[in-house]
Amino acid sequence: MKKKKALWTSTFREIYQSKARFISILLIIMLGVGFYAGIKATGPDMLNTADTYYKDYKLMDTKLVSTIGLEDKDIELIKEDKTVKTVEPSYSLDVLTKENNHVLKLMSYESGKNELNKPVLVKGKLPEKDNEIALDTQVQDNQYYKIGDTLTIQLDDKKSVSQTSYKVVGFVNSPMYIDKVSRGYTTVGKGTIDYFGYIKEEVFTLPVYTEAYIKYVNTEKTASYSKAYNNYYDKDVKNLKNTLKNRPSEQLEAMKKEANESLAEAKTQITDGETQLTNGKKQLAEKEKELNDNKQLIEAAKQQGLPVDETQEKTLQEASNTLNEEKKKIEQEEQKLVESKEELAKNQQAIDDLKAPTYHYFSREDNPSYAEFQDNADRISSIATVFPVFFFMIAALISLTTMTRMVDEKRGEIGTLKALGYTNWEISQKYIVYSTTASIIGSLIGLAIGYHLFPTVIFDAYGSMYNLPSVIITYYSSYTIQSIIVALLCTLLASLLVLRVDLLSTPATLMRPKAPKPGKRILLERISWLWSKFSFNQKVTARNLFRYKQRMLMTVLGIAGCTAMILTGFGLKDSIGDIVNLQFNKIWHYDATVTINEDSTTQEKEDYEKIKADDSQIKTSLNLSQNNMTVVKKGYTSREVTVDVPEQEKKLSEFITFNDRKSGETYTLSNDGVIINEKLANFFDVKSGDELTIRDTDNKDVTVKVQEVVENYAMHFVYMTPSYFEKTFNKKPNYNVELLKFDKSLSDKQEDNLADKLMKSNYAANVSFTSQIGKTMDDTMSSLNIVVWVLIISAALLAFVVLYNLTNINISERIRELSTIKVLGFYDREVTMYVYRENNILTVLGILLGFVLGVLLHGYVLKTAEIDMMMFPTTIHPISYVYSALLTILFSFIVMLIMHRKLKHVDMIEALKSTE
């Protein structure tokens, strides 16, 4: 018992006496574990927070919309579906506000009835009266209205709501719109919705529901964004489609029946009109015959010289005038009848041409913000697969070095204990406890900090983009166990590996100090003309560097690893920051995209062209045929692509630049093949001259030849000429999009005014501006920059701990040597520089190696962190190399100041004692 007690006392005394070493190991483990667990937990925490928010406010699974609206029969059928838990019919209407001409989406709300997509009250109250409205918090943020203000809407002739003026009573969020920017598209105003508002359901006067929100039984407790949710959803929506499969034909039949009943009445009216017209003509003919007979009698009397009554002649004239008027009326009635028959024929044709209504099933994925949030969380998770591993590699390296030094220092003690009869296991316990204690404490602190700090900081960075509550912190047992195991491997395994050699040695060998490394000539000494020019200090520095090769290698690798991570962080910042500028300035040169309404008339197109011609801001335009298709290849994951066909291929270069990212060579479209973007080519492992298979919307596969591969950073594109498109798909391109290029950049207000003007013609279904898309992407990228800064700061802290630890080990190993030169009369500053000349050289070497490793790590992280629809540029700006080097040098300088103070207080007598 006394032996064990002595060992435990010695262990805890060692921890106390070597606090710096113990704390340095603890800090390295803390940083490694904290970074690993924190970054790993951030992505899942983000998704868990969003999922909890969706469940709390009952976000729908499916939004059902019909081209003719939804009837009670539709709702009843959906309720009968056993896979459906809740169905909630609703009304909505897109309108313009009179005060500022904004596009407002009005949505119905009924207290106690809204079970799905519950509005989240932020301020004020929800509407309780017909003239009250609760608005999107975006309105409050932009100070368009405040509580108590009156909002007035503009309505067309067709009345859809009973109120046009509303009192603002509150501000709300909605689980359907978690982001703070996008509110969807519309055919009203400028084509995009500015904000939404809730009004009482009774205010809507529409004959049918505009949509129905549906929640399924299977998905209610399933985590959003999970594979299980997607699998359940696919099955449930398929079942719902089956439930409603007969409704389109039923509604078509009902519409035709109702229309035909209306036509039957019209036919009866026309038949009655024809009968009346026939009778009228007969009566007219009889009157005309009677009039003619009377005229002939008077004419005969005149010829015979008989007296004629003037009154009789006047009466005949009046009768003739009346008869002419009746003729005109009959002709008019006949013309009306002809027109009615023509109208009847048109209506009959319209009824015959009636098509069954289409039901559209929109999932959560159709909401861009829902899918975008997952993309952001996935990016964090992707980064978490690379950086923490590098962190732990450096932590393991430094822990191995530190524990090696500790065991070397305790050789004499180990020999003494062996001589006293202690077993190898008993001797090992001290180092096991020492390293395990440092690992466990470091791990626990790291886990506590990591699980709270990283998710909170990163999630808050996205706070400017999303209307979500504070992040929900979760402790993941898998990450906790992984972290602790790796931490123990870094320290405990290192201790046992180093200790193994000494435990196999004899007590006599261990109780004698290790013989110093024999001095020998280094390579530089053999170059006599160069060596002779070195000063004494330079020669000492060179000899020490090459004498302690292991220490030199460890220091260079440690510094290189930290510099590499710092450079990778700055490189990621460069890559993320460059995307918007490269995509929207270097590659795309157009300013707006107009989606063309395919049902518009020739007159509406002419009106649109006139509006466009009268606007001096529009410099030029280009029509495109734009189709969403799929690229497929056996053994590869299919990818959605946009197939663009310009009406004037020679004009396309004014709007889009096709160039090779590396060589800068530019290309143009030809009839020999297609041009595709670089990332799409990488996905399918194709190059110029290869073939690519495209599946169109009819599930027909066609093969195209890849002409060139070009630089592009957002989405996937396939470009081809009209003739090549016609040759490939056996049909002419349908030009459904128009690109606009402005004379100069427009302000947000000018863009809104232009969109409003263009949308006044039914020819334009929607207008979107590249500046707005760029801003949205820039906001996303800016949020990701916070993540990058977290990486940079974490790597910088690790660099500081690594430099401190390695320098501390260096000084501890050479304490006798440093004490000797102090005894010989070296000043404190000279003693510090004696060590730091070597450190400075090793730091520079580490920085240079770090640059090389950083470029490789940066490229690997980019490939890992990229999402399918985006490619990051791999360029690292020169200033990033400067920042990375300066940070490493700064930490080296701070460590030098700390060590200078330590060297000033070295106990030379104690250090120079010899073991006999």
Contacts of 482 by beta carbon, 8 Å cutoff, 6+ apart: 36
Residue 678: alpha-carbon gap to chain centroid: 20
Q: What percent of the chain has pLDDT over 70?
A: 94
What whole-number distance in Å separates Cα of residue 691 and Cα of residue 488? 52
Per-residue pLDDT tens for 868-882?
Answer: 677 888 889 999 999
Low-confidence winner among 145-154, 364-373, 736-745 (lowest mean pLDDT): 364-373
Asked whether residue 462 carries a pLDDT value surpassing 90, the answer given is no
As a whole number, mean pLDDT of residues 245-270 equals 84
Distance CA 655, CA 642 (A): 16
- Give percent of the chain with pLDDT exceeding 90: 27
pLDDT in tens, 579-590: 888 888 889 999
**Residue of 784 and 214 predicted with greater confidence:** 214
In 3-state terms the chain splits into helix, strand, coil percentages (rounded to 5) of: 60, 15, 25
Q: Please state, in angstroms and rounded to a whole number, the distance separating the CA atoms of residues 739 and 559.
A: 51
Alpha helices in 164-226 (DSSP H): none
How high is the pLDDT of residue 600?
78
In the predicted model, is pLDDT for residue 294 greater than 70? yes
CA dist., res. 390 & res. 374, Å (int) = 25
pLDDT in tens, 387-409: 777 777 777 777 777 777 788 77
pLDDT of residue 3: 61
Bridge partners (DSSP) listed for residue 7: none
pLDDT at 309 exceeding the cut of 80: no
Joined together, the tokens standing for residue 346 give 């048109």
User: For residue 222, which of 41, 44, 61 has the smallest C-alpha distance?
Assistant: 61
HSE-CB of 691 using CA atoms within 13 angstroms: 8
Residues 573, 785 contacting (CB under 8 angstroms):
yes
pLDDT of residue 157: 60
Residue 239 makes CB contacts below 8 A (sequence gap 6+) with 81, 83
Q: Is the pLDDT of residue 747 over 50?
A: yes
d(CA 857, CA 568): 6
pLDDT digits (tens, 9 = 90+) for 781-812: 666 677 778 878 888 887 888 788 777 777 77
- CA nearest 241: which of 66, 420, 25? 66
pLDDT above 80 (res 757): yes
pLDDT tens, 313-354? Answer: 677 777 778 778 877 888 888 888 888 888 888 888 888 888
Q: How distant is the alpha carbon of residue 649 from its chain centre?
A: 32
CA dihedral 384, 387, 393, 397 (to 10 degrees): -140
pLDDT at 843 over 80: yes
Split at pLDDT 50, 70, 90, the class of 275 is confident
pLDDT band of 126, cuts 50, 70, 90: very high
Q: How confident is the model at residue 114 (pLDDT cuts 50, 70, 90)?
A: confident
**Mean pLDDT, range 505-512, rounded to an integer:** 78
Between 886 and 786, the higher pLDDT residue: 886
Q: Report whether pLDDT(915) > 70.
A: no
φ, ψ for residue 737 (rounded to 5)?
Answer: -140, 145
pLDDT in tens, 53-68: 999 999 999 999 998 8
How many other CB atoms are there within 10 angstroms of residue 471's CB atom?
22
Alpha-carbon gap, residue 817 to 822, rounded angstroms: 9
CB 838 within 8 A of CB 435: no
Three-class DSSP category at 252 = helix
For residue 638, report the phi and psi dihedrals to the nearest 5 degrees.
Answer: -65, 150
Element (H, E) at 232: helix 227-243
d(CA 582, CA 592): 17
- Residue 631's closest CA among 696, 542, 675? 696
| Encoded amino acid at 772, one letter | Q
121 has a pLDDT exceeding 90: yes
pLDDT on residue 719 = 95
**Which residue stretches of 717-827 are H helix?**
722-729, 748-759, 770-813, 815-823
Q: Residue 916 — pLDDT band, cuts 50, 70, 90?
A: very low
- What's the one-letter identity of residue 841? I
Residue with token string 């530019």: 666
What confidence score (pLDDT) does residue 771 get?
Answer: 82
Whether this prediction's pTM lies above 0.85 is answered by no
97-108 as b/e: b if 16+ CB within 10 A: beeeebbbbbbb
For residues 711 and 661, the answer to whether their CB atoms sit within 8 Å is yes
Closest CA to 33 of 554, 567, 490: 490
Q: What is the DSSP letter of 666?
A: B
Within 8 A by CB and 6+ apart from 386, the residues are 857, 860, 861, 864, 865
Q: Which two three-digit tokens encode residue 676?
A: 């595709």
pLDDT digits (tens, 9 = 90+) for 688-697: 999 999 988 7
Over range 129-142, report the average pLDDT: 90
Q: What is the mean pLDDT of the chain?
A: 84
Q: pLDDT band at 559, cuts 50/70/90? A: confident
CA 677 – CA 292 distance, rounded (Å): 89
Q: Quick one: pLDDT band at residue 240, thresholds 50, 70, 90? A: very high
Predicted pLDDT at 141:
82
Q: What phi and psi values does residue 779 have, to the nearest 5 degrees?
A: -65, -40
Please give the full DSSP string across 551-620, using - where no structure is assigned.
HHHHHHHHHHHHHHHHHHHHHHHHHHHHHHHIIIIIIB---EEEEE-TT--HHHHHHHHHHHHH-TTEEE
Cα gap 682→631, rounded to integer Å = 13
Reading the block at residue 571, the tokens are 């490189």
The answer, yes or no, to whether residue 641 has pLDDT greater than 80, is yes
Task: Average the pLDDT over 826-831 and give the result.
Answer: 78
